[in-house]
Structure 1
Amino acid sequence: VPLKKRWETFRNILCSKSIKCITFNSVVGLMPLHFHRAEDLNQQMDLVLTSIWDIKLAAWILRPDAKEVDLEFASFVAGFPHLCQSKTLVPENASPNLVQLINIKDRLSYLLAMYPIISRSITKKGLADSLDQIEGPLQSVLSAMECIGVGFLPHTYQNIEQRLDNRIEELSLEARNIAGNNSFLCSSPQQVAQLLYDVLKLPVPKDTMPRTATTSSQHRSTSEAILEAIKSSTPHRIIDILLEFRSLNKLLTSYIKPLPFLARKPYLREASLSSKPIVRIHPMWMQTAVRTGRLSCRKPNMQQIPKDSTFDVAPRDAFCATAHDMCLFSFDYSQNEVRILAHMSEDQQLISLFLNKDGLDIYKQMSSLVTGKTVDSVTIEERAITKQVVLAILYGMGISQVSKKLGINRSKAQHFFNSFFARFKQTRRWIDMTKESAKKLGFVTTIVGRRRYLDEIRSNDSAKRAQAERQAVNSVIQGSAADLMKLAMLKIGSRITDWHKEGHSAGGTGRHPRMLLQIHDELLFEIANNKDDIQRLKDAIICCCAEECELDLKLKVPLKVNCSVGSSWGDGMKDC
């Protein structure tokens, strides 16, 4: 049978809506199909496959707090040994290929036996819709994204590496002069603590320390929060040196040096079309690594690559379109999690701010209501404090953390918390109700019904219980934001799959956009650098990721998306 025919048969099975494919770790299993189709830039990719029912993914939905090792195939076999007692006998003198095929057959039989057990648990707990409609189909999207990768320019990092090395050495030399010690290392927490507290006698502001900390541990900490607190109360040149050193050293060791080694050669077809083809980086997308349901990625972690420039170079500038006639297109949700808070809490004051058609700054509007000032008279500091209070609610931060972040005392931070809840009363009620529900049920649910279990929510240990209560609120907001992004990826993925069926304007190219990265509340695509193609994708984004998601999730507030385009992912991205 010709190879082309075999590929087509395999694809037809996966795309069939009448067949259920029981798999294990299908994000990896689908890669041969996606790599095969990704090589042809004009060929559509099957981004959304609804036939996949993955055992590993289903187990994670049942217990999102499961450790990674517990989701490996060997752990399932150890947990259900009675399902794999009858193994196929291997004939004597069997070839290595035959032995491998027999092992694969036994594994598939095991998955088939496990399917009804896990499926019943999924249905019993009301998680079938979340698995079948969102998490399951998303696996193919993530697999395709990893296969496609994103264009990368290694020389961008190579050009800045020496400059960073030189600046780090300058900072180290200045620090050694201040310390009066030629062997002083800015990278050593012990030496830094000794210099700050024993030699320079710098005090640590009391408000920066948690109440449970011991005296000895307080005065030996050299965390960024502590350094910022010392800088605010007792400015000293060494603090600026240490903060800059850590920032540059992390940039150098986490991104500038290692990322070029992760780049791979371009597809054969791309290499044949250009004398200098652009290499790609293919991040590994993880669907089962974060308890709230947020996606994560590795090798590299694209979600931590900083936006800000260093020496006039933004690390994101190295990520680019893969051809001169292509460009990058990005969309991100505006105030996504605050909108979800408004929806979940049903606070009419908060909802009304998002229904305001004037397009005013949401945090200035909130600060105006909290402080009683007009929007125009709200100061930069008041806006910053209000924003931090909102983020504290969303991320489960306490008053101490907010005061550290903003460099204000606890009483001022407490005042803004009290003022916020006095104005947006229903948010306080919703938080309390969420905590009580978590204590009663042992879990919280997101906007699509996905669960997160909180084992410490009834703990006798007050610290553990308080942490679980913060996680309860955070998990609903963060988890629902993750649900929204996944739904958006599926909707725009389906639209891209059918791109050729819609036809295109006379000025467009008709080439399929390609989904590259999912970063926090942002999706990054590669598309033909053509005005009509860009407008077509923007219209599709607004329709699929804003309007349709609002309707499907029955949101009480509108979603807002910001779109931008550029040749690289960094400072070159411009609003469109």
Structure 2
Amino acid sequence: MKVYGLWQLFCTLELPLIPILAVMESHSIRVNRGEMERTSALLGSRLKELEQEAHFVAGERFHITSNNQLREILFGKLKLHLRSPRETLPRTGLQKLPSTSEAVNIQGISRHPIQITKPQDFKGLEGTVLTISPRSMFVASDGHTFLAADFSQIELRILTHLSGDPELLKLFRESERDDVFSTLTSQWKDIPPERVTHADREQTKKVVYSAVYGAGKERLAACLGVTVQEAALFLETFLQKYKKIKDFVQTTIAQCRQTGYVASIMGRRRLLPRVHAQDQQLRAQAERQAVNFAVQGSAADLCKMAMIRVFTAVAASPTLTARLVAQLHDELLFEVEEPQVPEFAALVRGTMEALQDVPALQLQVPLKVSLSAGQSWGHLVPLQEGTGPSAQPTSC
């Protein structure tokens, strides 16, 4: 590890993380058992209806969870691949919520509500659309509350640091009080900030990440619901405005070709031998993975460092008892005693935002942390700096 420059990473991030993960995994998360059983029954009934509909369309009964049988029905009997030759058919599969006795994969629980048509065997009006929020079934212990902390726009901030794009650097240094993607939209499209709509903002986010991760004009067009020509124009104008992003992408790919790997901000390596593949598709995939890892791998480094520093601070505190419940991408979820929320929230925000000044990082952009709290994981409300929860819920 010393030869490959990985010893410091191992000692400063990986080893200290072991006891943190052990403590986190040794604690369970409380669930609203009644709500989980009701939701499981509801989804089970709806899945049964859908299975019956599938049998009707296929003209025969089959095991819908069997890949072989499903493949034979879709392509052997119904020949869907011949009906829509230009479209990529999605992968198929069915899932249902586990029972209260089964382990739950926290990473796979959707943050977005799920809408389903009410099953016929449930009371109420037929055709009613029901909304299920999977995260709402996870609740804090008595006398505690959940507190979620996540780095705001972390990938865009890391991209700005790595690329050194002057326009993006200016954006983060001067417009921190405003919504960054709205300001970016105003800057890119040259329209007043007050005229930026939510749709404009979401479009900008998709263009940004398409440009970085090499999604291509066809995929961006499908994502935005526009023509390929319009998507190509979006990408072209964006990369003309922020020229250093394109330079960063090209430099990252070139270095990967030269060394055979790509490194994160803390020196973590990902080997990508297919960057030299003769097959163009395999080579292009490796190139996208290289840029992706440079940004997302660096975000993961920051998140691990935040976990270690917050854990250490709590361990050293004579009063704080907060514990880390889960880590989901750039979000950390804690369970905190209710009277300790203000003190712990200040500690978390200060600790995580201070990472920008760590000597090993020396980020060119400030880090910003969003906090939210609530009794249920699915109903968290934002915490403003130095204040309690605001009135509106967040979708963390």
1:317 is aligned to 2:136 = yes
Structure 2 residue runs without a partner (length 5+): 115-129, 384-388, 390-396
Q: How does 1:37-116 map to 2 (within 5 A)?
A: none
Aligned to 1:392: 210
Residues 98 and 104 of structure 2 are in contact (CA less than 8 Å); yes or no, is this contact kept in structure 1?
A: no
TM-score (norm 1): 0.58
Query: In structure 2, what is the Cα distance between the partners aligned to 1:471 and 1:313?
Result: 34
Alignment-derived partner of residue 364 in structure 2: 556
Tell which deviates more after alignment, 447-456 or 146-155: 146-155
Task: Give matches, 1:465-504, under 5 Å.
Answer: 465-500=283-318
- Cross-structure match for 1:566: 374
Matched, 1:156 2:35: yes
The match for 1:401 is: 219
Matches within 5 A, 1:12-31: none
Give, in angstroms, the shift of residue 349 of structure 1: 0.6
Instruction: Call closer, same or farther: CA 1:486–1:349 in 2, change over 3 Å.
Output: same
Q: Conserved in 1, the CA contact under 8 Å of 2:163 and 2:245?
A: yes
**What residue in structure 2 maps to residue 307 of structure 1?**
111
Q: Which moved more, 1:372-381 or 1:422-431?
A: 372-381
Tell me the distance in 2 between the aligned counterparts of 1:202 and 1:452.
Answer: 40
Is residue 453 of structure 1 aligned with residue 331 of structure 2?
no
**Paired position in structure 2 for 1:545:** 352
Amino acid aligned to 1:257: P
Deviation at 1:189, TM superposition (A): 4.9
Q: Residue 191 of structure 1 aligns to which amino acid in structure 2?
A: I
Question: For residues 301 and 395 of structure 1, what CA distance do their matches in structure 2 show?
Answer: 27
Residue 73 of structure 2: aligned partner: 191
- Higher relative CO (Cα under 8 Å, sequence separation at least 6) belongs to 2
The Cα of 1:401 is off from its aligned counterpart by 2.3
The equivalent residue for 2:6 is 127
Alpha-carbon distance between aligned partners in 1 of 2:317 and 2:109, rounded to the nearest angstrom: 31
Distance 2:9 2:236 in 1: 37
Q: 2:172 aligns with which of 345, 354, 360?
A: 354
Q: Which runs of 5+ in 1 are unaligned?
A: 1-121, 210-220, 225-245, 263-298, 501-509
1:124 aligned counterpart, secondary structure: coil
Query: How far apart, in 1, do the equivalents of 2:305 and 2:195 lie?
Result: 39
Question: Are residues 569 and 399 of structure 1, via their aligned partners in 2, closer, same or farther at CA, if it must alter by over 3 Å?
Answer: same
Query: What residue identity is the alignment partner of 1:332?
Result: D
Identity %: 29
Counterpart residue type for residue 377 of structure 2 = W
The one-character-per-residue Cα deviations of 1:538-560 (angstroms, maximum 9, x if unpaired) are 11011111124444421111111
The superposition leaves residues 424-474 of structure 1 with CA deviations (integer Å, 9 ceiling, x where unpaired) of 000101111111111111212111112212112222222222111111111
Cα gap change, 1:174/1:314 in structure 2, threshold over 3 Å: closer, same or farther? same
Name the CA shift for 1:466/1:145 in 2 (closer, same or farther; >3 Å).
same
How far apart, in 2, do the equivalents of 1:174 and 1:474 lie?
40
Q: Secondary structure at the match of 1:261?
A: coil
Query: Matched residues in 2 for 1:173 and 1:538: separation?
Result: 50
The alignment partner of 2:335 has SS state of strand
Q: 1:443 to 1:176 in 2, by over 3 A?
A: closer
Do the aligned partners of 1:127 and 1:449 also contact (CA within 8 Å) in 2? yes
TM-score (norm 2): 0.83
- Superimposed CA distance per residue, residues 71-118 of structure 1 (whole angstroms, 9 cap, x where no aligned partner): xxxxxxxxxxxxxxxxxxxxxxxxxxxxxxxxxxxxxxxxxxxxxxxx
Task: Label 1:549 to 1:513 Cα distance change in 2 as closer, same or farther (>3 A).
Answer: farther
Q: How many residues align?
A: 363
Does the 8 A contact of 1:445 with 1:476 survive in 2?
yes
Looking at structure 2, the residues matched to 522 and 399 of structure 1 have their Cα atoms a distance apart, in angstroms, of: 30
1:160-309 mapped onto 2 (5 Å cutoff): 160-173=39-52, 179=57, 181=59, 183=61, 188-192=70-74, 195=78, 197=80, 203=84, 206=86, 221-223=89-91, 249-250=94-95, 252=96, 256-258=97-99, 260-262=100-102, 299-309=103-113
Change (3 A) 1:411 1:185: farther
User: Deviating runs (4+, > 6 A) in structure 1?
Assistant: 184-187
Structure 2 counterpart SS, 1:150: coil
In 1, distance between residues paired with 2:176 and 2:296?
28
- Contact 2:148–2:334 under 8 Å retained in 1: yes
| Separation in structure 1 between the aligned mates of residue 381 and residue 261 of structure 2, nearest angstrom | 41
